[in-house]
Structure 1
Amino acid sequence: MPTDNLTHLKLDHTVILVNNLDQAVQDYTQLGFTVSPGGEHAGGISRNALIHFQDGTFLELLVMKPGARTQLLKRMYKSGLLKAYQKSAKYGMAHRFYGRALDLGAPAPEREGITDFCLLADHVAEDYLQMQKQGVQLTPPYHASRIRPDGQTVSWQMYTALDEALPFFRTDYSPKITRPTTALQHPNGVTGTQKMVLFVEDYDTTIQSYEQLFSGSPTQQTDDSVVFTLDNGAIEVVNHHKSLRHQEQALVKAQGIGRFAQVMRTDNPDFVAQMQQGNTHGLVFLET
């Protein structure tokens, strides 16, 4: 059952915006990941491929598809209309996902990378009410779906905080998907996600937002960061201005969009170095 401090929320998945999905699948396969087919999201605006891990987390390689609906979202975004509907269920999620992608401008290699990450909320009604009780402003739950390559439609509910410093949230898939063991095994030795790392400009405000979300949750604090511990991992918020982790920040800025990085669970001591030798399409992996 859910608890008042929401520490039962789990790291779920990371969204990596790519320009060419087929190329990204090929590159991640060469890096030792087992990539599974995803599908096309309802409305045909985007499609994805997925990299699943033994701890239940996954990476989502996402590409925006050209077409009339994408052009409509672009016009709504540029005119400010998409933001005007930010509090609605459907367009609130669209503003977050596609607004972030559109804000990156024309597709270019340097604009690939993590655009967002998600927490899994098993108890959608209770968790939603608890977040509201703690003062977190949310969009209404939105029913989403995608069609798998085998033709099966999977659906789920998701919602997001209006404060975009926070992650978004989803329920488990319906019908529940059981992954074959082969899809969870990766030649590079990765078994899951250990931590999401956020390098932020507005550190004090971001910390306040996470403290509001995880009220009463255990934390580890240093001079330049706070780590919020969850049921299956952690979220670390790092002060961009005070941090001495200059090499990590430079790596994130050079290879990715400039804010997010990720620490994986693996017994492979050379994993990060191996990833730096290939094309991760802007996803930056850090040492523990």
Structure 2
Amino acid sequence: MPSQQVYIDHLLLQFSQEQFEALPQWISGNFTVIDGGVHTGGLSRNKLIIFRDGTYLELYNWIIKPEDWRERLPGDFALTTLDSITAEASQERIANALASIPGDGGVGVTYSPPREGGRKNAEGFDVRWKIVKPGYTKADATPGDEFYPRGRTDAPFFCHDITPRTRRVTYDMTSVTQHPSGATGIELIEVLVPKGALSRYTDIYASIVGATPEESDGAVEFRLSAPGVHGFSGYIRVRDAQTVEDEQFLREKGIGISSLELRSETGQPISFSIAEFLQ
């Protein structure tokens, strides 16, 4: 399998206008939240929780919510590569891997050519990037529609910087990466899939990440780095549904990210509740 260093980038969490303008106390009391700015086109805006490892959480809000808002969103979480690898090269590598062995597990996943995006940050500077978004088809092993109540969210998207990364993610500023909770980065992103589908989604994520996973307690884990640190710093864990609660989550939120753990200065992971922000 071709190798390429893939990094954890960020999670996209959707907030209503009320939540966005008056953040829940458990967020504002535990994290330093900064104003990210307004996206190009003026339809949406964000706030950011930035960690010292170079990853972040994006608190996303529609200023004007278009009818096709689901199609406009790239996905629930993003990976990235660093400057030496372009968005175009990344898309080509992933699409080729998904079309080869182990491929997409017969689920019907590929990646579309890059599309440019941007926003104007709180200081008035333009921030620009390219998104490489997963595309989906109905294939022989695609799970049933009941597993996609929010549309298809099988795979992450990629966000590649055009302007310097530290303009989009100001992890070089100590004032924004110090959090009351002691959070320092993303430790674990868990992806939940239907029971019996683990091997197929292992193939998908192995193709996307370009690495072989480790097996762990009936799940698989991909060790990834973060843009601001050296060495491995976090995991994507893929597991299939085993409990009634898992099955209920799949019915309500669908295949995709189901839980998030943050790394902390104390060494104890911090659970970040994400279910209500997956819309």
Give the Cα–Cα distance (whole angstroms) in 2 for the partners of residues 271 and 207 of structure 1. Answer: 25
More helix by share: 1
Q: Which residue of 2 aligns with 1:231?
A: 225
Corresponding position of 1:212:
207
Equivalent of 2:122 in 131, 146, 149 = 149
Taking a change above 3 Å as real, the CA distance of residues 270 and 193 of structure 1, as seen in their structure-2 partners, is: closer
Q: CA deviation at 1:230?
A: 1.8
How many residues are treated as equivalent by the alignment? 231
Shift in Å, 1:283:
6.0
State, as a whole percentage, how many aligned pairs show the same letter. 25
Q: Is contact 1:14–1:118 with CA below 8 Å preserved after alignment?
A: yes
Corresponding residue to 2:179 among 153, 172, 186:
186
Deviation of the 1:272 alpha carbon: 4.0
* C-alpha distance in structure 2 between counterparts of 1:281 and 1:21, whole Å: 16
TM-score by length of 2: 0.71
The match for 1:169 is: 158
Match of 1:11, SS state, is: strand
| Inter-partner Cα distance in structure 1 for 2:77 and 2:36 | 17
Distance 1:283 1:272, change over 3 A: farther
Q: Distance in 2 between the 1:47 and 1:95 partners? A: 17
Are the counterparts in 2 of residues 261 and 283 from structure 1 also a CA contact under 8 Å?
no
Shift of 1:129: 2.4
Q: How does 1:45-60 map to 2 (within 5 A)?
A: 45-60=43-58
Aligned in 2, Cα 1:36/1:48: closer, same or farther, shift over 3 Å?
same
- Find the aligned partners of 2:43 and 2:216 in 1 and give their Cα distance: 42
The one of 78, 81, 91 equivalent to 1:118 is 78
Distance in 2, matches of 1:14 and 1:54, equals 15
Higher strand share: 2
Between the aligned partners of 2:225 and 2:268, the Cα distance in structure 1 is 27
Aligned equivalent of 2:71: 95
Question: TM-score scaled by structure 1?
Answer: 0.69
Q: Give secondary structure in 1 for the equivalent of 2:207.
A: helix
Partner of 2:215: 221
Contact kept? 1:188, 1:268, Cα under 8 Å: no
Note the alpha carbon deviations across 1:109-163, whole angstroms, 9 max, x for none: xxxxxx6000012212332222233135221111101011222211111111214
Deviations 1:167-218 (A, max 9, x none): 0001125144244211011110100001210111143332221122234x24
Aligned mates of 2:3, 2:270 — CA distance in 1: 33
Q: Which runs of 5+ in 1 are unaligned?
A: 75-93, 99-114
Q: Structure 1's 271 and 159: CA in aligned 2 closer, same or farther, altered over 3 A?
A: closer
Shift of 1:282: 3.0
Over aligned residue pairs, what C-alpha RMSD do you find? 3.1
1:4: which partner in 2? 2
Instruction: Give secondary structure in 2 for the equivalent of 1:165.
Output: coil
Partner of 1:196: 189
